[in-house]
Amino acid sequence: MSDSLNDVTGIPAVKNQVRLPAEWEEQGFVQFTFPHRNGDWAYMYERVSACFVEIIEAVARFEPVLVGCHSSEEVSRLFRSDTLFPIRFAETASNDTWARDHSAITVLRDGIPELHDFIFNGWGQKFESGLDNRITRNLAQNGVLNATIISHEYVLEGGAIESDGAGTLLTTSECLLSPFRNPQMNRDQITEFLKETFGLSKVLWLDHGFLSGDDTDSHIDTLARFCPDSKIAYVKCSSPDDEHYDALQTMGKQLQTFTDAENNPYKLVPLPFPDACFDANGERLPATYANFLVVNGGVLVPVYGVPQDQEALDTIGELFPGREVIGVNCKPLIDQHGSLHCITMQYPAEMKLNE
């Protein structure tokens, strides 16, 4: 009897097959961690809360949402009661709000979801993260997340990796080779660990590119993103006068050398570089259009009130035909050095949100 074909990759299904889905595959729900008044958002709590509410309610037009928060009663009052899909509020202590990096990363083993819970250490011991590091286990113990959890003694953030869903992972050497994450492992050892954990055949290491004001050591989701049809959307800086010009030009050249698991080159699609955004102290903030979120039937795109916003919306819309493109003003988010994708974590359709 011949093996059946995997519906996504078109390759024969194998027992104990592990796969890290692409973000544009069907999703079960999206997770957030809501701001609280005692954290880094205290000085602008109302403004950033309104931004979170806008994004969460936009996602709830397309799929269910899980919101981890300090008080379900207080936070739920900020939301409408008539969203198309349910918003579940679950109480859990947190240091901050960057769900992309402290949430579990879901793989499918023979089509069954497994939650891989890595160590989150505040992007290389830059910030306190003890509470954030326990959120996945808290939600599982409270019955909110119902799947096998595999804990790793390895530091990894979700924003540091991109999957094409077909065996190739994209990451940056600046982040994964940081001496404050996993100094006991070299590039080859990390590559093998990622391959084994996520069922990969290839890991692509991006050695160039950064954003001024970024705390993550160049997370890939701020620089380059896999998209359907073997495309990579990447941040392109065209102004020689900009501090990012040399590094991002070199990054673009390296991306041209990358191939997928079958050694086919990717089609590169440049994203515009937004005009510089600054905080109240005059420090440049890490504004990027690469930090978009794909949901079922839609794409949420961060915008910043600059002239390049519309071009970014149009370009990303072309990358995801048939999906509604929604721009969200993320100026409040970049004030704390992150953006839209950074505050979210999607779970595949096989992972259902417990009521």
Q: What is the pLDDT of residue 4?
A: 41
pLDDT at residue 5, rounded to an integer:
47
pLDDT of residue 12 exceeding 80: no
Residue 310 identity (one-letter amino acid): Q
CB count, 10 Å around CB of 166? 22
pLDDT at 265 over 90: yes
Mean pLDDT on 257-275: 97
User: What secondary structure letter does DSSP report for 169?
Assistant: E
pLDDT at 67 (0 to 100):
98
pLDDT of residue 14: 57
**Per-residue model confidence as pLDDT tens digits over 96-131:** 999 999 999 999 999 999 999 999 999 999 999 999
Over the range 101-110, which residues count as b (16 or more CB within 10 Å of their CB) and which as e? Answer: bbbbbbbbee
User: From CA 43, how far away is CA 117, in angstroms rounded?
Assistant: 31
Mean pLDDT within 236-250 = 97
**Could you tell me the pLDDT band of residue 353, with boundaries at 50, 70 and 90?**
confident
Q: Look-up: residue for tokens 């996993």? A: 182
Q: What is the pLDDT of residue 3?
A: 40
Tokens in use for 244?
């990012």
Taking all residues of the chain, what is their mean pLDDT, rounded to a whole number?
A: 95
In the DSSP assignment, the letter for residue 263 is S
Edge to edge, the sheet with strand 298-303 lists 293-295, 298-303, 324-329
In the predicted model, is pLDDT for residue 6 greater than 90?
A: no
| Least confident stretch, 1-10, 53-62, 131-140, 298-307 | 1-10
210/247 Cα distance (integer angstroms)? 7
Map out the domains of the chain as residue ranges: 18-348
Residue 168: closest CA among 126, 139, 199: 199
Look at the domain 18-348 and name its fold: L-arginine/glycine Amidinotransferase; Chain A (3.75.10)
Q: How far apart are the first and last CA of the chain?
A: 40
CA-nearest of 109, 110, 111, 86 to 30 is 86
CA atoms within 13 A on the CB side of 203: 23
pLDDT given for residue 8 in this prediction: 52
CB neighbour list of residue 4: distance below 8 Å, 6 or more residues apart? 12, 13
Percentage of the chain lying above the pLDDT 90 cut: 92
Q: Rounded to whole angstroms, how far apart are CA atoms 339 and 332?
A: 9
Question: How do residues 278-326 score in pLDDT, each as one tens digit?
Answer: 999 999 999 999 999 999 999 999 999 999 999 999 999 999 999 999 9
pLDDT at 38: 86
Give me the phi and psi of 71, to 5 degrees please: -150, 110
| Identity of the amino acid at 77 | R
pLDDT in tens, 54-92: 999 999 999 999 999 999 999 999 998 899 999 999 999
Tell me the percentage of the chain whose pLDDT exceeds 70. Answer: 95
Phi, psi for 329 (deg, rounded to 5): -70, 110
Q: Is residue 9 over pLDDT 60? A: no
3-state secondary structure (DSSP) of residue 52: helix
The alpha helices in 135-289, defined as continuous H runs, are 135-141, 173-176, 187-198, 245-255
In which band, very low, low, confident or very high, does the pLDDT at 354 lie, cut at 50, 70 and 90?
A: confident
Look up residue 305 and give its two tokens. Answer: 């009130």
Largest CA distance in the chain: 67
At 13 the pLDDT is 53
Q: Higher-confidence residue: 2 or 152?
A: 152
CA–CA separation, 28 and 320 (whole Å)? 19
| Residue 257, CA distances (Å) to 224, 246, 254 in order | 14, 18, 5
Residue-level pLDDT at 340: 98
Best CA proximity match to 347, nearest among 6, 9, 11, 32: 32
- Gap between the Cα atoms of 89 and 215, Å rounded: 28
3-state secondary structure 325-339: EEEEECHHHHCCCCC
